[in-house]
Structure 1
Amino acid sequence: MTRRIDPPEAPSPSGPAAPRHTRMVGPAGDAPRGASDPVVGWLVIVDGPGKGTALELGYGENPLGRGGGMRISLDFGAASDTAITAERHAVVTYYTRERLFRVRHDLGLNPTHLNDRPLLQPTELNAGDCIEVGRTRLRFVPLCGPDFEWSAD
């Protein structure tokens, strides 16, 4: 035999409503990085939608695109740069053993540029390099490299 149980009613407020706060929630990939996935560098948008935004790079591959599921998501809603492919326009990879970063064009329909030149093959990134995807320019800022590595003792 089954019987219905109604949930208790919420108490009515006795005074003025408490102030409400808005909390911004993004995709699961936006969770703060922990010790298992520390930041190794940043891409900072210097021109285009999201100008001034710093995007964290992690160990291994960092696919870049407009899609919300990208590790480096350039999704700014209606203001997004539609010349950027949603999935894997380009990829920035941090190589732990070599302590260096490389960028490569991936599935982007429009070319990727590095320092105003077409990116034709995987190329090492240096501090201050500018990656251009669509009409968006990103400046590379490394944290890890020859002089620092999280796993170094």
Structure 2
Amino acid sequence: MSGLIRCPNGHLFSSRRYGTVCPYCNIETATQERKETSMVGQSDVDVDEMLMLEKIDPVCGWLVCIDGPRQGKDYKIKSGKNFIGRADDMDIQILGDNKISRRNHAILVYDPKKHETVLLPGDSNGLVYHNEAAVYTPVVLSVYDVIEMGESKFLFVPFCGEHFRWEDPSSYPDEGGYETEGESDGSYGNI
């Protein structure tokens, strides 16, 4: 049977189902989580053309795992709906926490017209929590809100919003950067 991986502790599991993280002991069995395309034998011009044709889905924010099996891992949030689960077809695939549903545990939506990110409950049995409260209806997220799913906690870090929008070049910072409240006292202010 192909697609089986043995972790350093001897557990045998399906890489198609669990990726490179052992579902029994949550140990990473490989460092690479993305697919690589082979470019051997291609000229620099071909590679440049391929890279120019590649569709870029710009980042709008991140979820950062602050507690749980994948502590320290970040997950990119893109514009539109981001379905969260363990399955390969999820926009945000969280491996290693088997209490997170395979499909649609929760949904994060970045709305480019309102410039806000919204957390919605998914259609699975698992609950999602926003700052310790169960989510039953859409919740608009603020910087550093805590989202909890399964046995994991995540910090929400926005990139797009009030101060920056991909579709509006006038929102880009100048060379001096953004001026935020509290700059003089060394705090981060309102990001």
**TM-score, structure 1 as length reference:** 0.75
| Aligned equivalent of 2:57, options 16, 37, 43 | 37
1:113 lines up with 2:129 in the alignment: yes
Q: Which of the pair has the greater relative contact order for Cα pairs under 8 Å at 6+ separation?
A: 1
Percent identity over the alignment?
A: 29
Deviation at residue 108 of structure 1 after TM alignment: 2.7
The 1:115/1:125 distance shift into structure 2, 3 A limit, reads: same
Deviation at residue 24 of structure 1 after TM alignment: 2.7
Larger Rg: 1
Counterpart secondary structure, 1:150: coil
Q: Report how many aligned residue pairs link the two structures.
A: 124
Correspondence list, 1:35-114, <5 A: 36-75=56-95, 80-114=96-130
1:147 corresponds to: 163
What is the root-mean-square deviation of aligned Cα atoms in Å?
2.1
The 1:97/1:25 distance shift into structure 2, 3 A limit, reads: same
The answer for unaligned runs of 5 or more in structure 2 is 1-29, 37-50, 170-191
Greater helix proportion: 2
In the alignment, the residues of structure 2 paired with residue 105 and residue 151 of structure 1 have an alpha-carbon distance, to the nearest angstrom, of 28
The answer for unaligned runs of 5 or more in structure 1 is 1-21
2:141 corresponds to: 125
**TM-score, structure 2 as length reference:** 0.60
1:26 lines up with 2:42 in the alignment: no
Deviation at residue 25 of structure 1 after TM alignment: 5.2
Deviation at residue 140 of structure 1 after TM alignment: 0.1
